Amino acid sequence: MASVYNWQLGREMTYRFDQAAPERQFVAIFNINRCIACQTCTMACKSTWTFSAGQEDMWWNNVETKPYGGYPQHWDVKTLELLERANPGGQTWGGAPAAEAPYGVYGGRTIFEAASLGQQAVGYLPSDEEWGSPNIHEDSPVAKAALSDGVSLPEHRTWFFYLQRICNHCAYPACLSACPRNAIYKRPEDGIVLIDQARCRGYRKCVEQCPYKKSMYRPDSRTSEKCIACYPRVEGSDPITEGRPMETRCMAVCPGQIRLQGLVEVAPDGTWVQAPDNPLYYLIREEPMAMPLYPQFGTSPNVYYIPPRWVPRQYLRQMFGPGVDDAVAAYERPSRRAQAVLQLFRVTQSIIFSFEVVEGPKVAEINVGGRPLEIFDDTVVGYGKDGEEVVRVNVREPQYERPAQYLNTI
Ligand code: SF4
Ligand code: SF4
């Protein structure tokens, strides 16, 4: 076993392979607070990539209602339970946040470190029944969920939220380390994780050991498949992109405007190269406002979430790590710069590689949590790969008043 640095855990951890960081990494941020669960993202992915026979149960993108929903059912509770069994009470964090340990240091075992001899990681294969209901417990804050092994979740009354999920294109993918055929690889140019269909023999070790259950088995081809991050779009080789790197389909279609996706630069040791003018780097590392999903699993997932403000903190801390309190505070009272950067969600399909903020006048002062918050009509400008301007948008949304002759004509 090799040792690699996992900055989300603030420490070295064991992994099957030596450090082999990509030059750039595919990264996305989902703002949970804005999702309306319309499933447009889910259907955009389905109609693009998984519409064929044998792919009926494949939802590379899904949106589930937490705390009870999940696809496959109970995927997260079951993996948390496996970690707990391997190391009772061990999923704890300590230490103060530091530059390369922004959430402190994880003191427990990852899925790799909790594995027994002969295993790469702890995991399980979901049953057909668990794969059968992609949106079970939709919109339900009171569902009673009994796990198949007799463990049950408590009932409560007042909250739920939507969790948007795709493959995390992890820095240390468990699917990749699990594969006995070495059929899974991480691309050096963008960190996208792919399965070589010619090498795959359908052993399903990736399905078993991905803690997010985002590698899926296709029975008619007897191979596993997973989200490919719409790589022709990210490469700029899709004909509609005119050579410019574009965001994935699930990002581009989102009517809730909750998604932003791009690329960050990675250093050879796996840490991120400082880039405070990259909008993803800014929201994840500078503010920080967006958090990784279950960082304790140890795969270093690259989809980050702006956590929901209304959910009990204990639940959020388990799901997003100890940085979640600061993240919620940063979103509730966004800094002047963050107010501008948040406008970049879903205003262009082009990947924004950098941004600048042009200051404008103060336009409002609102009360947040008993304290005043100033709002400025700043302009945020997004730049593409070659430094060309791809978008320009203001903090204050423009209002249009239709002339009276057009009222009630539709
Ligand atoms: S398209 Fe956007 S708003 Fe609709 S479910 Fe997906 S993430 Fe949520
Ligand atoms: S989320 Fe799962 S399938 Fe995707 S890269 Fe990570 S371990 Fe692999």
> What per-residue confidence (pLDDT) applies to 404?
76
Chain segment 288-320, per-residue pLDDT in tens = 999 999 999 999 999 999 999 999 999 999 999
> What per-residue confidence (pLDDT) applies to 345?
98
Q: Decide whether any atom of ligand 1 lies within 6 Å of the 28 Cβ.
A: no
CA–centroid distance, 321 to ligand 1, in Å, is 24
Q: What is the spatial distance between Cα 232 and Cα 245, in angstroms, rounded to a whole number? A: 9
Ligand number with the minimum distance to the CA of 111: 2
**What are the domain boundaries of the chain?**
2-336
Would you say how long the chain is, in residues? 410
Chain segment 211-241, per-residue pLDDT in tens = 999 999 999 999 999 999 999 999 998 877 7
Q: What is the spatial distance between Cα 166 and Cα 59, in angstroms, rounded to a whole number? A: 9
Into which CATH architecture does domain 2-336 fall? 2-Layer Sandwich (3.30)
Q: Decide whether any atom of ligand 1 lies within 6 Å of the 63 Cβ.
A: yes
Chain segment 11-59, per-residue pLDDT in tens = 999 999 999 999 999 999 999 999 999 999 999 999 999 999 999 999 9
Please name the residues in contact with 35: beta carbons below 8 A apart, sequence gap of 6 or more: 63, 161, 162, 164, 256, 258
CA–centroid distance, 123 to ligand 2, in Å, is 13
Q: Decide whether any atom of ligand 1 lies within 6 Å of the 43 Cβ.
A: no
- DSSP E strands, 67-189: 93-94, 105-106, 161-165, 184-186
Percent of the chain with pLDDT over 70: 95
- Specify the residue with its C-alpha closest to ligand 1, atom 2: 254
Average pLDDT over residues 110-133: 95
Ligand number with the minimum distance to the CA of 301: 2
> What per-residue confidence (pLDDT) applies to 152?
66
- Specify the residue with its C-alpha closest to ligand 1, atom 8: 35
Nearest ligand 1 atom to alpha carbon 42: 6
> What per-residue confidence (pLDDT) applies to 123?
97
- Specify the residue with its C-alpha closest to ligand 2, atom 2: 210
